[in-house]
Chain A
Amino acid sequence: MISINSISVSRGDNPVIKGFSAEFKAGTITAIIGPNGCGKSTLLAAIAGDLPLANGIVKVAEKEIQNYSISDLARLRSVVLQQPLFNLAFTVQEVLAMARSAGSTLASENAAIAKLAINDLVDRKVTQLSGGEKQRVAIALAIAVDAPVLLLDEPLAAQDVESTKRIIELLKAEAKAGKTIILVAHVPESELNWCDQIIKDF
């Protein structure tokens, strides 16, 4: 589904990723791990098409990522940022409806609410949620789009034990349904046995 071929990415004048290649198959979960500052988020952002590449090629569904329009790419991959920004006091329901611009429907939004078990949050204002709740809303927003590729930057960072379990089960189910899932994780490799592929040296 996604292939990256010897990509290099710089942040400012700093080369962060140098000539890295990998393959991500449909129906699999890949975790990117490594110490702080090694460029995990940068790699994910490059795969998302958010960063210009100094070199190399990122292909999604056999097509170079920069050749997609913004709206086509939105239907192909959804992204969960490490710290989702909710600047205005929309309700959770209103925020989820914003995924309509990427092709969500009321049904897919409600399904996402059920999958994340955030039914009791739907009428709350997103500005008043805790960090973990905001992150679950951001994951629901991404899931509501129902895109074949799902990219998540530390989706488990602010979650309690139960939410962590639920999100892992959710990701496994999404992968089983054929999605390509790549996430950045900040846990020991031994805790990632539910992933199909681990990337740690890049």
Chain B
Amino acid sequence: MNVAFLFAMVVLSFSVGAAQIDGLVSALFNPGANTSAAEILWQIRIPRVITALIVGAALGVAGALAQGATNNPLAEPAILGTSAGAALAVVIGVLANIVVIGSFAAMVIAAIGALLVTLLTLRFATLDRSVSPLNLVIIGLAFSATISAIVGILTTAISRSDARSISFWSFGSLALTNSSDLLPLLIFTVTGIVIALWIAPRLDLLSLGDATAKHLGIDPRKVRRIALIALAILIGAAVSTVGTISFLGLAAPHIARLVVGPKHRPLIVQSALLGATILLVADTLARTIAAPNELNVGLFTALIGAPILALLVRNRQSSWSQS
């Protein structure tokens, strides 16, 4: 059902855009045809749709990992500082002329930045050994805000087009992606999701608390470290390609849990599907609603994801304990 809807959305987003395409079907089956339809479809729309699907899946899975690893329903990459860390690393890399946005190297340094800031948040939140869920969120938000401010200052103080604008780093955009970004993005995302699926059964045990997980033979710190590395790989790829898209990482796993329950392996698969669907819908709206102008995609992930999340959690028993 899910997959069918996703497929319908893919077809729909091939057919809508700033330019009208005549002969969509023939263009779809003749990628080499020398028509403007084939060119728009194969050079612009298809790469963009694929980017939305990959990044959406990455963000959905990243959210499931963030929540599972911290045992916290409020955790998501944009709250733990993961996304901000990735953005800062890329901006510094671009300004220092080390990397180009969308490249393999940019993803590597973005993943490193993502991991470092996430670890810093976790370390800071548990300094006094009180692993209060609220503390983690407050400290994560503070780190995210601080680092996002630094990213904003860096991007505006140095006017270079390849550093992207502050709205790119705050709300994300798929407008500047091109087909050469796809391969590194795909490699990173697949790697992150494979690690996530592998560690998933042990994330189930973390929901019993670190002490019980350990009593049952699992090293919670090791599990968390592996999950955070997968998280950083996914966010590194996503943020360095399309900027920071918040809320998707929070909403996708919550909605997914209502569909498949709390078990992390099915949850990760479902979060990937939902993340891909929501981001594709959001990006299609972002590029068509005010065409030929583009809006930031993050506006639409919030607009779609937030009400769905609120309604689902309101109307049905959430998977998280109420205490």
Contact = CB atoms under 8 A, between A and B. Distances in A.
Nearest to B208: A85
Interface in B284-323: 317-322
B217 A95 contact: no
A90 B211 contact: no
Contact of A90 (B71, B262, B317, B318): B262
A108 B219 CA distance: 23
A103 B215 CA distance: 12
A64 interface: no
B208 A89 contact: no
Interface string A115-144: 000000000010110000000001001100
A71 B217 contact: yes
Contact of B320 (A84, A85, A127): A127
A102 interface: yes
B320 A95 contact: no
Interface string B257-277: 000011100000000000000
B216 A74 contact: yes
Nearest to B214: A70
B73 to A, nearest CB: 8
Interface of A: 48, 50, 70-71, 73-75, 77-79, 81, 84-90, 94-95, 98-99, 101-103, 125, 127-128, 138, 141-142, 145
Contacts of B217: 70-71, 73-75, 101-103
Contacts of B320: 87-89, 127
B202 to A, nearest CB: 8
Interface centre among A73, A78, A88, A89 (most CB of B within 10 A): A88
B71 A87 contact: yes
A116 to B, nearest CB: 17
A127 B217 CA distance: 23
B207 interface: yes
A77 B202 CA distance: 20
A87 B262 CA distance: 10
Contacts of B322: 127
Contacts of A125: 317
Contacts of A77: 215
Given A85-B212, A88-B320, A98-B208, A70 B262 contact: no
A87 B204 CA distance: 10
B61 to A, nearest CB: 17
B319 A84 contact: no
A111 B303 CA distance: 50
A21 B204 CA distance: 37
Contacts of B207: 85-88, 90
28 contacts: A48-B215, A50-B214, A70-B214, A70-B217, A70-B219, A74-B215, A74-B216, A74-B217, A79-B212, A84-B208, A85-B212, A86-B208, A86-B321, A87-B207, A87-B320, A88-B207, A89-B261, A89-B317, A89-B321, A90-B207, A90-B261, A94-B263, A95-B208, A101-B202, A101-B205, A127-B322, A141-B212, A145-B216
B31 interface: no
A98 B319 CA distance: 18
B263 A90 contact: yes
Contacts of A50: 211, 214
